[in-house]
Chain A
């Protein structure tokens, strides 16, 4: 039987976090959710997380900074990061920060699921 894939959602917009969680759980993922950037490392340390969905603005903290931090840290660098944002023209910035993929709000649920699927498959192959 396939191992359950765990996703961490980091978004200060509770509504977005909530609907993403509902959607991903419905699709069979295990979901952890936080609306602040500070505890991300702590959560990753204590849980077996397979992918991070990271908003670009989390209550005043830049998501790109969080992404750089994760990618610079040997303990977390391997975890794929999917960045999401409502800000215009943000893809390049996110890619530069080391994000593995990117989706802009308002996104299609199918798009998010497809990208999560791709990123987690890649990880399992490795």
Chain B
């Protein structure tokens, strides 16, 4: 207030000056009148100034010894900075909520005691229950029974120490299925280092977990599959060596030379196939599978491939039906690989049947199809989609006659997709399967 007004000791002038500064002078006057009529009241009001200042106005009645009111004490405190900070805080809280609602993760805040104060809407979506229910019952109702004790222990430790919280556990979704989550939480502290609240996030990592498991199984299987032929080869070589070193006892002619070499050769073929599959897989993963595109006759490719297979496999008969003649643009060797994979699968999974049918036909006006039909064990419908996935078929099939990495069909499907084609399977358990690939016809 300017000194000349203060020095004038003119209440009227002070009031007038004050009112000129205020955003809502009428409200102020009303309050002054109200207080005049009710002298016993104390009051707190916020005054907004035109220049943006915010002032807290406290009024107290001043009493004489006989209890009568004879004056007021009015104090004014500039709280502009406090209010601004509050506004910033509210804005920041709003931003936090918006961010929390946007994120695919489930976000939680809790008070220093660990009691949850906020669940983002992803919680409702995931669990299929309302936030009210979550607040009432706590999110522990979603924990897997086997995880509860460990979570509570870790959470308690986290609350007590204030260290960052990181844990993997399962939470039940709205379908009642438990999915793995990565939970992270950290403390928000004030300047003195006291915990003000906790912020936590839950990220679903079920797919990563499954992929990890498949990779672990796959590596185990590689180890198992590769070591078996190596063990056999080593065995035969060491047996022959040991016989040769004691030549005096056994004449060379009576050593099992021929049969050992046949076994060794068979195991080397098996080893080579496994290594080729592995290399193909790693090349696919690095996207280094280069296609050498040339025009070639699909009919000739089929005829030649079948001749090659029949040369080494005299038990199975493969019949070929050329219902359509097509030349396509593509990588002949890679398409041959797909065809070999289909035929070998047909043979491998038909232990009791001995015929396979290959048909080439026009599928619509834009595509040519090649189907390989076997009469083997077939594939259950729930497995039909998965067989084109990487590593599928690896676990649980240790029978020698179905050995392999279970990546042949994954590689085949990748090759066909890179030719802009598609791949399909029709199968019935116990009756057999038809694997078909479709390639675009170049017009």
Q: Which residues of A contact B (CB under 8 A)?
A: 12-16, 18-20, 22-23, 26, 57, 59-60, 86-88, 105-110
Contacts and interface: CB of A to CB of B under 8 A. Distances in A.
Contacts of A26: 239, 242-243
Contacts of A105: 227-228, 230-231
B396 A60 contact: yes
Q: Which 7 pairs across A and B sit closest by C-beta, in order of nearness?
A: A19-B235, A86-B227, A106-B231, A15-B232, A109-B238, A105-B231, A106-B230
A16 B232 contact: yes
20 contacts: A12-B400, A15-B267, A16-B228, A16-B231, A18-B263, A19-B235, A20-B235, A22-B235, A23-B239, A60-B396, A86-B226, A86-B231, A87-B223, A88-B220, A88-B223, A105-B227, A106-B231, A106-B234, A108-B234, A110-B238
Given A26-B239, A86-B223, A107 B400 contact: no
A70 B119 CA distance: 55
A86 B224 contact: yes
Contacts of B228: 13, 15-16, 86, 105
Contacts of B235: 16, 19-20, 22-23, 109
B392 interface: no
Nearest to B237: A109
A19 B239 contact: yes
Given A23-B239, A26-B239, A60-B398, A15 B229 contact: yes
Given A15-B232, A16-B235, A19-B236, 11 more contacts: A16-B228, A19-B239, A22-B235, A23-B238, A26-B242, A59-B399, A60-B398, A86-B228, A88-B223, A105-B228, A107-B234
B256 interface: yes
B224 A57 contact: yes
Interface string B392-433: 000010111000000000000000000000000000000000
A31 to B, nearest CB: 13
A116 to B, nearest CB: 14
B302 to A, nearest CB: 33
Nearest to A57: B398
Interface string B208-233: 00000000000010011011111110
B242 A87 contact: no
Nearest to A59: B399
A125 to B, nearest CB: 27
Nearest to A20: B235
Nearest to A14: B400
Nearest to B219: A88
Contacts of A22: 235, 239, 256
Given A19-B232, A19-B239, A106 B263 contact: no
A57 B229 CA distance: 16
Contacts of A60: 396, 398-399
Contacts of B234: 106-109
A80 to B, nearest CB: 21
Given A13-B228, A15-B263, A86-B227, A109 B239 contact: yes
Contacts of B224: 57, 86-87
Contacts of A20: 235
A17 B420 CA distance: 46
A87 to B, nearest CB: 6
A18 to B, nearest CB: 7
Contacts of A23: 235, 238-239
A93 B396 CA distance: 19
A15 B262 CA distance: 12
Nearest to B242: A109
A13 B228 CA distance: 8
Contacts of A108: 234, 238
A20 to B, nearest CB: 7
A14 B396 CA distance: 19
A36 B408 CA distance: 28
Contacts of B263: 15, 18-19
A18 B400 CA distance: 14
Nearest to A113: B242
Contacts of B267: 15
A105 B223 CA distance: 10
Contacts of A87: 220, 223-224
Nearest to A19: B235
A115 to B, nearest CB: 15
A12 B239 contact: no
Given A23-B235, A26-B243, A13 B230 contact: no
Nearest to B246: A26
A12 B399 contact: yes
A39 to B, nearest CB: 17
A22 B234 CA distance: 13
